[in-house]
């Protein structure tokens, strides 16, 4: 679909939802390639929702965190809603300690719950912190 | 010339004194041990837990170890550290008293009491004042270090106990309970410092993952005061819970605490708060019910 080297991260399409999962080996370069590829796919498929499963990630550095925020903003501009699912407790603690709040990024406990939230085009459960 | 002379004499006196002390120790081992126990009993230098027979065992072992250590040729000042048996016995003796609740003074005095016993026996063995003095200096060098070692070990032992207790307290005071289907609660008791926030966060996030909980209620009824640091810690916990994909409700904010928070200008507006745990549970159930579009009503 594009000439860029692939990030090696599979992006699956299910209806109007894109599903992807990040593995631990994500370095800065492939993170950038992934952003690029996902953005292209969103615009070419007209997807309405994107689910990124990060339950395999044991570490998120500030670069990947910024990539997730960036991706969410980009996807929103393209009309898609991004849900990051399955963050592990140690990862969450590390991010909070680094002062990274991933503001604006929607999260879900598991891929299943993330899909439920995406599949039903209803407002997500009222989140006091995400009134936008 | 004078200096080298004195050096030689002090050396020879030293080794002579060393041999003499060793000899006295060996010859009167039982008497010395008994007298030492007796002294400790007399001076009431005892932790409550030590029986007389234990003291006797301890004394026999120490006297034997002292004699064996003096037999070698390691420097006297370092014997209490360098001789393995002696070191172990002094360490054990000190730890036993630390655990038994004896004071540090009592512990080091117990070791130092041995000086008096040894000097008494030495006086019986020789009348020569030079020899007596050299031996006394040697005994002092040896047992002062042993006393210091016992003190050091005592403090270490106590610190280990304190460390263990605070760890237990930490674990005890932060249980995560399941209140409802997909609703967890953490009743916080006591002041929230960084270490406790860490434990609360870890326990809570793990429980959220294990139970697939949608809402976590943090009840701060038992938190005496909320300052900016505590609020910061609460915010961190809430953010971590959100990153996991669950919601967080804070309950049990008492009126004075609410006033403090308002006065300090701490912004908790991004957090769902309720006055009581009951209200928080009601709010939590509403949240868990809301995203149940697949026909089930969340119960």
Contact B245 A113 (CB under 8 A): yes
Q: Are strands A81-85 and A106-108 parallel, antiparallel or unpaired?
A: parallel
Domains belonging to chain B, first-starting first, are 2-169 (1.10.490.10), 177-289 (3.30.750.24)
Q: Do the chains contact at B245 and A87, CB–CB below 8 Å?
A: yes
CA-based nearest residue to B86, from B109, B61, B65: B65
| Closest-CA residue to B142 (of B208, B202, B90, B94) | B90
The domain made up of A14-119 has a fold known as Transcription Regulator spoIIAA (3.30.750)
CA distance B24 to B67: 9
Contact residues for A25 (Cβ-Cβ < 8 A; gap 6+): none
Nearest-5° Cα angle at B238, B237 to B240: 65
Question: Quick check: B139 and B118 in contact, CB under 8 A?
Answer: yes
Any residues with CB less than 8 A from the CB of B91 and at least 6 apart, and which? B149, B150, B153
> Which residues on adjacent β-strands are paired with residue A51?
A19, A83
Residues of chain A with pLDDT under 70: 1-7, 120-132
Ranges of residues in chain B whose predicted pLDDT is under 50? 1-12, 292-299
Q: For residue A107, which phi and psi values (nearest 5 degrees)? A: -125, 160
Question: So what's the pLDDT on residue B151?
Answer: 87
Q: Is A87's Cβ below 8 Å from some Cβ in B?
A: yes
Where does chain B show beta strands of DSSP type E?
Answer: 177-180, 183-189, 215-222, 247-251, 272-274
Closest partner CB to B290 (pick from A91, A97, A126): A126
pLDDT tens column, B210-261:
988 999 999 988 888 888 888 888 888 899 999 998 999 999 888 888 888 8
User: B161 near B153, Cβ under 8 Å?
Assistant: no
Give me the pLDDT at residue A130, please: 44
Question: Pick from B216, B218, B239: which is nearest to A95 by CA?
Answer: B239
How far is the C-alpha of B80 from the C-alpha of B215, rounded, in Å? 59
Rounded Cα distance between B274 and B286, Å, is 13
Residue B6: the pLDDT is: 43
E strands within B223-266? 247-251
B294 shares contact with chain A (CB less than 8 Å): yes
Q: A109, B290: Cβ pair inside 8 Å? A: no
Give the count of Cβ contacts less than 8 A between chain A and B.
83
Secondary structure class of A85 (helix, strand, coil): strand
For residue A13, with 0-12 CB atoms within 10 Å meaning exposed, 13-18 middle and 19 or more buried, which class applies? exposed
The pLDDT of residue B215? 92
ipTM over 0.90: no
Global confidence as pTM: 0.59
Cα–Cα distance, B132 to B20 (Å, whole number): 10
């Amino acid at each position: 679909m594009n000439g860029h080297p692939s990030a090696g991260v599979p992006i699956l399409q299910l209806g109007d939802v894109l599903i992807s999962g990040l593995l631990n080996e994500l370095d800065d370069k492939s993170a950038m390639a992934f952003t690029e590829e996902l953005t292209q796919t969103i615009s070419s498929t007209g997807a309405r929702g994107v689910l990124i499963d990060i339950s395999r990630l044991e570490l998120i550095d500030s670069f990947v965190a910024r990539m997730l925020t960036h991706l969410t903003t980009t996807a929103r501009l393209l009309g898609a809603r991004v849900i990051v699912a399955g963050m592990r407790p140690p990862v969450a603690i590390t991010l909070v300690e680094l002062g990274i709040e991933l503001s604006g990024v929607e999260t879900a406990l598991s891929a299943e719950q993330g899909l439920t939230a995406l599949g039903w085009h209803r407002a997500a459960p009222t989140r006091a912190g995400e009134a936008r | 010339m004078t200096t080298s002379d004195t050096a030689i004499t002090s050396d020879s006196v030293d080794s002579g004194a060393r041999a003499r002390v060793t000899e006295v120790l060996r010859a009167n081992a039982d008497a010395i041990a008994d007298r030492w126990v007796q002294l400790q009993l007399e001076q009431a230098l005892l932790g409550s837990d030590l029986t007389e027979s234990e003291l006797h065992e301890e004394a026999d072992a120490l006297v034997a170890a002292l004699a064996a250590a003096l037999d070698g040729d390691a420097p006297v000042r370092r014997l209490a550290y360098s001789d393995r048996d002696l070191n172990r016995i002094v360490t054990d003796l000190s730890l036993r008293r630390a655990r038994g609740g004896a004071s540090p003074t009592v512990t080091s005095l117990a070791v130092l009491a041995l000086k008096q016993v040894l000097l008494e026996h030495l006086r019986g063995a020789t009348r020569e004042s030079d020899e007596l003095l050299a031996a006394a200096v040697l005994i002092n060098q040896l047992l002062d270090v042993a006393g210091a070692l016992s003190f050091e070990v005592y403090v270490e032992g106590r610190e280990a106990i304190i460390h263990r207790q605070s760890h237990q307290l930490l674990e005890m005071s932060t249980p995560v309970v399941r209140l409802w289907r997909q609703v967890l609660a953490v009743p916080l008791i006591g002041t929230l410092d960084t270490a406790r926030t860490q434990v609360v966060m870890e326990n809570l996030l793990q429980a959220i993952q294990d139970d697939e909980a949608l809402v976590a209620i943090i009840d701060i009824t038992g938190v005496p005061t909320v300052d900016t640091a505590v609020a910061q810690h609460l915010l961190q916990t809430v953010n971590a819970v959100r990153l996991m994909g669950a919601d967080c409700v804070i309950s049990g904010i008492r009126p004075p605490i609410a006033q403090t928070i308002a006065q300090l200008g701490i912004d908790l507006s991004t957090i769902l708060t309720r006055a009581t745990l009951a209200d928080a549970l009601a709010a939590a159930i509403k949240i868990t019910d809301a995203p149940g579009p697949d026909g089930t009503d969340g119960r």
